[in-house]
Chains A and B, each alone.
Chain A
């Protein structure tokens, strides 16, 4: 039933410093720590002939989906990260920062899929940043944010192909169809044509 390669499903690549950019901003949560550390190192060293840009690298961090590895970022020594208790706080401060940045800024986001799209939506709708200036790296277990098409309840981290909607209780199949505006996959009633006939949930692998 799954549809591999469906066009609306985002393809995540690893973060790489954009040599065309003039300013770099990193935003991440716990599971993204590895990627953040790597990016900071690469930006400081300047890879592919790019000038080191450490002075203009800002980092916004929240523990989020966890585990919290904020102390590693603090110890790392490249610039001073800004820590936030939750994603909302992070997004707000990030937007204030971006509002003063110019068109040459690039945003690199690392974390769970739900986190990635919350940050993207906030920068896009808040300060008009285009997705062309944003890179994302999905980190941690492959859990998906899924929205129930019937009652509109979003579960931020669904890890199986079939789950029960916390809003309406229907058993939902997780489609690969993804909305970048909402930052969610679509969950659709799995047993509408044969009530009670719910397939065994399988672990999502991507």
Chain B
């Protein structure tokens, strides 16, 4: 069931920052293609998985791995995080085959979706990879890590927006056996490394009892090569900060106390993760990509339907979810602020802006 969809040509901006002076912002085009996650006026956990087989032309769902105007900024932020803490990219030794699988999938997908920016040339095992956005051109031997400047997984994920985790499948279970994690929503790869599906989801409220993780796991164990799936997850972040890691929580946690009625529109951000899951061919492992999108409440409010819907979702979100997601303390400020945009009119179903 292949959807022929058009991938948006990214209009890549010069580097903006996700820390200190926070110069990151979204263009009007980026706002319109934001993967707004709420098709209804309320939100609760569910097994919200669907085939990742394209989407509306130009949308974030159209390509396998979305490259957008923030490409250079996110790549630079990743470089800075890794410079401070190289362990943010860790892969257990038994995942080497999965590393090469990841490299192949990412190179193939990017060069097909964005031929103007990426080219992969294969001559048997001799591969040449060109990334014109970063000025990279490397020739290497597929399968021989010595021929790349870094291990294959780190090499390629340093060139792609979004976090990635790698999962071995054994004993009818998925294990978190590797990852590149520099823009995560408050969880630690170093700590969760080696855990199974239920363990790393341990801190999540309600969903275990609702049977969501049991069903999701059974589904993922049957994931097939060539049939990736996706889901959306969301939370809120103060300031456009990509690296909301627990490792650095003692530095950024204070941001949450600094939201005021005056600055809430600019400071509070909706953080959406477009997550996709791929079965990898040689290793039978699963690649999980977590593509993070940040939008300030004021940017979001330029789409009237979204402002109204987000207002209703936040207002009715159960406390345990708001607490887990880390915004229970400043939620009233956001809800109050958004109420000015919500006239109570009935909204069309679905997440589309119009």
- Any A–B CB pair closer than 8 Å: yes
Count B interface residues, CB 8 Å.
27
B253 interface neighbour in A3, A176, A181, A192, Cβ under 8 Å: A192
Stretch at the interface among A5-13, A49-57, A76-84: A5-13
Nearest to B208 among chain A residues (CB) is A7
Chosen A-B contacts, 11 in total, with CB atoms closer than 8 Å, are A3-B203, A7-B201, A149-B191, A176-B202, A180-B194, A180-B195, A181-B195, A186-B246, A192-B253, A193-B257, A194-B257
Given contact pairs A149-B188, A179-B192, A179-B194, A6 touches B203 in the complex (Cβ within 8 A): yes
Residues of chain A within 8 A of B250, CB atoms compared: 150, 170, 189, 192
**Complex alpha-carbon distance, A150 and B249, angstroms:** 8
Which of A7, A182, A189: most chain B CB closer than 10 A?
A7
Q: Are B256 and A8 in touch, CB under 8 angstroms?
A: no
Q: Is B325 an interface residue (CB 8 A)?
A: no
Q: Are B199 and A193 in touch, CB under 8 angstroms?
A: no
Residues of chain B within 8 A of A170, CB atoms compared: 250
Q: Are B247 and A8 in touch, CB under 8 angstroms?
A: no
**Complex alpha-carbon distance, A55 and B326, angstroms:** 56
Q: Is A41 an interface residue (CB 8 A)?
A: no
Interface residues of B in 190-208 (CB under 8 A from A): 190-195, 198-203, 205, 208
Interfacial residues, chain B to chain A (CB-CB below 8 A): 188, 190-195, 198-203, 205, 208, 246-254, 256-257, 329
Given contact pairs A179-B192, A181-B193, A192-B254, A149 touches B202 in the complex (Cβ within 8 A): no
Interfacial residues, chain A to chain B (CB-CB below 8 A): 3, 6-9, 147, 149-150, 152, 170, 175-182, 186, 188-189, 192-195
Q: Are A8 and B246 in touch, CB under 8 angstroms?
A: no
| A53 smallest CB distance to B (angstroms) | 27
**Complex alpha-carbon distance, A149 and B245, angstroms:** 10
**Complex alpha-carbon distance, A8 and B247, angstroms:** 19
Residues of chain B within 8 A of A6, CB atoms compared: 202-203
**Complex alpha-carbon distance, A61 and B322, angstroms:** 48
Q: Are A182 and B191 in touch, CB under 8 angstroms?
A: yes
Nearest to B202 among chain A residues (CB) is A8
Q: Are B199 and A180 in touch, CB under 8 angstroms?
A: yes
Residues of chain A within 8 A of B188, CB atoms compared: 149, 186
| A113 smallest CB distance to B (angstroms) | 16
**Complex alpha-carbon distance, A150 and B329, angstroms:** 23
B254 interface neighbour in A7, A175, A180, A193, Cβ under 8 Å: A193
Given contact pairs A8-B195, A179-B191, A179-B192, A189 touches B249 in the complex (Cβ within 8 A): yes
**Complex alpha-carbon distance, A182 and B92, angstroms:** 13
Residues of chain A within 8 A of B329, CB atoms compared: 193
Q: Are A177 and B249 in touch, CB under 8 angstroms?
A: no
**Complex alpha-carbon distance, A149 and B252, angstroms:** 14
Residues of chain A within 8 A of B247, CB atoms compared: 149-150
Q: A8-B202, A189-B253, A195-B254 are in contact. List 7 more A-B contacts (CB 8 A).
A: A6-B203, A8-B198, A150-B248, A179-B192, A179-B193, A180-B194, A192-B250
**Complex alpha-carbon distance, A186 and B200, angstroms:** 12
Nearest to B201 among chain A residues (CB) is A7
**Complex alpha-carbon distance, A76 and B141, angstroms:** 63
Given contact pairs A179-B192, A188-B249, A193 touches B202 in the complex (Cβ within 8 A): no
Residues of chain B within 8 A of A150, CB atoms compared: 247-250
Nearest to B245 among chain A residues (CB) is A149
Q: Are A149 and B195 in touch, CB under 8 angstroms?
A: no
Nearest to B188 among chain A residues (CB) is A149
Q: Are A149 and B246 in touch, CB under 8 angstroms?
A: yes
Q: Are A8 and B249 in touch, CB under 8 angstroms?
A: no
A186 interface neighbour in B191, B198, B254, Cβ under 8 Å: B191
B256 interface neighbour in A175, A180, A181, A193, Cβ under 8 Å: A193
**Complex alpha-carbon distance, A177 and B200, angstroms:** 8
**Complex alpha-carbon distance, A187 and B253, angstroms:** 15
**Complex alpha-carbon distance, A114 and B191, angstroms:** 16
| A97 smallest CB distance to B (angstroms) | 25
